[in-house]
Chain A
């Protein structure tokens, strides 16, 4: 492999991984933007999305899906889009329910209380995923080893689109990530900019009391925010499972940590910030694996984060937060 090929390959991997991180990061940043809560449970909602995806795939018959004869035909794209919608709605609904049951009663409580509640919810969800992993289904290994990593079947044909002889590998799953992630991001941006509910979100983010005085139903706006954030997390979980072909009850931990880092890097509360932060982290990881050493990658990622926060304390695109009085 020549240096250029290597670089190209790492850019592809960096972007693909980064896009997934960015989708999850949007969920963190949206919720933070509206109610200033770091929703630690978000990563675990993402995990449950992955488990739902595998359950659906298993119920539809994993055997039919991994049959190479039918791979790559349009029904698999249909299945993929279907999964994105089903898992997205599930995670969105889950997020809204968590907000209703746990966060809403604590809305006026000190920030620390809410934060601890979020961590508590996170633990509950991790264990729920552990329990789910023991489901007596073939795709879950017959339910014998709940905590084991599960093999997620390949939904798209795995051959190299650039030809089997090419050193650079580009697969349908890389394309799928772009085809699904980019429209979601554009849609989100338009939604927040153009629609009435989106305006309500921006208003609530700026000043919830004033927004309420202006006749905005802030509770509805908050619920919508959790719904959209969760939907993006659910979509990300499908992308993640498709891309890595493995799910485990702990997958949300690392994905959540990367995404939260991305949100902070880009400026928490900022939508384009989270997108850029996610892609940046994906690229930094790939480049560090290649040009430094894998064992240093986490050090590099957090080193960059610290550097950026030293020079821009509110992140790349974050606005300077005024202390509310």
Chain B
């Protein structure tokens, strides 16, 4: 009986409260046009904060906070607040589809949210993209690199239309995509003098995508692909697989995957299994956690990590200002993606400022439209624009290796 009472009270509360609160929101909306300066403005980010990507995402969140602090946390007189959401769960130690879906729903339900910065993993983007698209909220990813999210011809035949139920583009990214990255990796494998390559992926959206591009490019430039396989990211080791690659005579192993999908273990097993091939991995491994998981010994001089952009230390112009200011504010080196977090927030804020300067109202619709108009934007990553698909025109890539427990750049490709 007691529980029944409690339950009916809850149901009552749940149904009645919105009725009472609705007029309040209604008033807000109708008066919005009159008092442009009122109404909260909010940017949220959805990144994997639990798990080994934490160091990377903390650095990205710092970048976003810096961008907001630079405008004093305000657009005109309106306060611009920021919330840092986690899309990972402890059970997975990695992004979780259920949590990412919740985050998207939460953003849609909160009328103050005008922009959604995220996601980190391309697989996660697939979940929130259609939701946010239908709601007309602008989404700017600082890290998704899977080409099929925005470009036709890379994934399923219904991609990317399936992510755009409204038919409009609401998803933008400030990072070059994997059709560039995978090709740079394949070219580099050839430069290393390899003739036979073995291509692995982690069976996730991002890993499979970038490995597919690598494989295609490798064949085009005359490398022999001696094997293709998908690994089990939760396996205890890959020693048997290493033996198979050894038998195939692999000189370069390409792994499309991330630190969270066991790239570290793979690097170790290549060494312990006596396979003398070099390992090339994409930007999902461009984080300190990868070096910690694999150990310096398994990587130094044997592993190469491609990254869409350059080492933060090598940034120029506004990027250099960012690097200096980051170190001063947070007292440490930024991880590779910090500057992308910063740039993503910057591009949204710049759009908001343009709307404000023109005397417009800041709504989801106006912010979305204005972000889409970003052209010849001069930011920390140089001067770039968003193309019709929502992708950046910036195509700078770097190839890095590991030395003394840190990344060092081997080559920059523009």
**Docked complex Cα distance between A240 and B265 (Å):** 13
Judge whether B93 and A250 touch: CB under 8 Å: yes
* Interface flag for B76 (CB, 8 Å): no
Q: Which residues of the partner chain B approach A254 to less than 8 Å between Cβ atoms?
A: 234-236
- Any B CB within 8 A of the CB of A314: no
| Contact among B51, B230, B240, B274 for A286, CB-based, below 8 A | B240
Interface size for A (C-beta < 8 A) is 44
| A148 in contact with B52 given A248-B93, A254-B235, A295-B230 (CB within 8 Å) | yes
Give B265's nearest chain A residue, CB to CB: A246
* Nearest CB on B from A49, distance (A): 14
CB distance A244 to B55 under 8 Å?
no
Q: CA separation between A264 and B103, bound complex, in Å? A: 40
Interface string of B229-244 (1 = CB under 8 A from A): 1111011111111011
* Interface presence of A40 (CB below 8 A): no
B272 engages A148 (CB within 8 Å): no
Of the candidates B90, B229, B259, which one forms a contact with A294 in the assembled complex, judged by CB atoms under 8 Å apart?
A: B229
Q: Select one of B90, B238, B262, B289 contacting A130, CB under 8 A.
A: B90
B292 surroundings in chain A (CB, below 8 A): 141, 145, 148-151
Does residue A14 face the partner (Cβ distance < 8 Å to B)?
A: yes
Answer yes or no: B203 CB below 8 A from chain A CBs. yes
- Distance from A261 Cβ to chain B, minimum over Cβ atoms (Å): 14
Within 8 A of A (CB), among B247-288: 247, 259, 262, 264-265, 268, 272-274
Taken together as a complex, chains A and B put the C-alpha atoms of A6 and B274 apart, in Å, by: 13
A1 and B295 alpha carbons, distance in the complex (Å): 28
- Interchain CA distance A238-B272 in the complex, whole Å: 18
A290 near B52 with CB under 8 A, answer no
Q: How far is the CB of B384 from the nearest CB of chain A, in Å?
A: 32
How far is A243 from B51 in the complex, measured between Cα atoms in Å?
23
How far does the Cβ of B37 sit from chain A's closest Cβ, in whole Å? Answer: 41
| Interface hits, A200-256 → B, CB 8 Å | 240, 243-246, 248-251, 253-255
Given A145-B52, A243-B237, A249-B93, check contact A160 B274 (CB 8 Å): yes
Asked if A295 and B240 sit within 8 Å, CB to CB, the answer is no
A244 touches B236 (CB 8 A): yes
Bound Cα distance from A240 to B268, whole angstroms? 14
Q: Is there contact, CB below 8 Å, between A244 and B265?
A: yes
Q: Which residue of A is nearest B271, CB measured?
A: A158
Question: A29 an interface residue at 8 Å Cβ cutoff?
Answer: no
Given contact pairs A130-B90, A244-B237, A245-B268, A10 touches B243 in the complex (Cβ within 8 A): yes
B234–A289 touching, CB < 8 Å: no
Interface centre among A6, A246, A249, A285 (most CB of B within 10 A): A246
Cβ–Cβ contact B93 & A147, under 8 A: yes
Judged by a CB distance under 8 angstroms, whether B412 is at the interface is no
Whether A13 contacts B52 by the Cβ 8 Å rule is no
State which residues 272-317 of A face B: CB under 8 Å: 285-286, 289-290, 293-295, 297-298
Is B62 among interface residues, defined by CB-CB distance under 8 A?
Answer: no
Q: A253-B234, A294-B232 are in contact. Are A9 and B243 (CB under 8 A)?
A: yes
Interface check B79, CB cutoff 8 A: no
Complex CA distance for A144 and B268, rounded to whole angstroms: 22
Contacts of A141 in B (CB 8 A): 289, 292
Q: B169: shortest Cβ distance to chain A, in Å?
A: 34
Q: Which residues of B contact A188 (CB under 8 A)?
A: none
Chain B residues with CB below 8 A from A114, complex form: none
Whole-angstrom distance from the CB of B264 to the nearest CB of chain A?
6
Bound state CA distance, A151 and B322, in angstroms? 32
Interfacial residues of chain A within 7-50, with CB under 8 A of chain B in the complex = 9-10, 13-14, 17
Q: A149 near B247 (CB under 8 angstroms)? A: no
The docked-state distance in angstroms from the alpha carbon of A165 to that of B262 is 29
A297 to B240, CA, bound (A): 11
Contacts of B246 in A (CB 8 A): 1, 167
Are the C-beta atoms of A246 and B264 separated by less than 8 Å? yes
Q: Is A169 an interface residue (CB 8 A)?
A: yes
- Separation in Å of the A174 CB from the closest CB of chain B? 10
Q: Smallest CB–CB gap between B272 and chain A, Å?
A: 6
Tell me, yes or no, whether B385 is within 8 Å of chain A by CB.
no
B247:A1 contact, CB within 8 angstroms: yes
Known: A145-B54, A148-B289, A151-B292. A158 touches B272 (CB 8 A): yes
Residues of B with C-beta under 8 A to A295:
203, 229-232
The answer to whether the Cβ of A53 comes within 8 Å of any Cβ in the partner chain is no
Which residues of the other chain, B, contact A13 by a CB distance below 8 angstroms?
239-240, 243
Shortest Cβ distance from residue B90 to the other chain A in the assembled complex, whole angstroms: 6
Q: Is A86 on the interface with B (CB-CB < 8 A)?
A: no
User: Is A126 an interface residue when CB atoms closer than 8 A count as contact?
Assistant: yes
CB of B287, distance to nearest CB on chain A (Å): 10
B236 with A289: CB separation less than 8 A: no
- A130 and B247 CA atoms in complex are apart in Å by 38
A145 adjacent to B273 (CB under 8 Å):
no
CB-CB < 8 A to A243: which residues of B? 237
- Interchain CB contact under 8 A, A255 and B236: yes
Chain A 145-164, CB-CB to B under 8 Å as 1, else 0, gives 10111110000001010000
Asked if B293 is at the interface (CB within 8 A of a chain A CB), the reply is: yes
Find chain A residues with CB under 8 A from B166 CB. none
Interface residue? B112 (CB, 8 A)? no
When A160-B274, A171-B272 are in contact, do A294 and B243 touch as well, CB less than 8 Å?
no
A127 within 8 A of B: yes
Flag whether B389 is at the interface (Cβ < 8 A): no
Query: What are the residues of chain B within 8 A of A126 when measuring CB–CB?
Result: 90-91
* Docked complex Cα distance between A297 and B231 (Å): 9
Minimum CB–CB distance for A153 against chain B, Å: 8
Q: Which residues of A contact B232 (CB under 8 A)?
A: 294-295, 297-298
In the assembled complex, the Cα of A147 lies from the Cα of B52 at a distance in Å of 5
9 A-B pairs with C-beta separation under 8 A: A13-B240, A13-B243, A17-B239, A148-B51, A149-B262, A151-B292, A245-B295, A294-B244, A298-B232
Q: Which 4 A-B pairs have the closest CB atoms?
A: A148-B52, A289-B240, A295-B230, A149-B293
A residues with a Cβ closer than 8 A to B are: 1, 6, 9-10, 13-14, 17, 126-127, 130, 141, 144-145, 147-151, 158, 160, 167, 169, 171, 240, 243-246, 248-251, 253-255, 285-286, 289-290, 293-295, 297-298
19 new A-B contacts at CB < 8 Å, known A145-B292, A151-B294, A245-B295: A6-B243, A144-B55, A145-B51, A145-B289, A148-B51, A149-B265, A149-B293, A151-B295, A167-B274, A243-B237, A246-B265, A246-B293, A248-B93, A249-B93, A289-B243, A290-B240, A290-B244, A295-B203, A295-B230
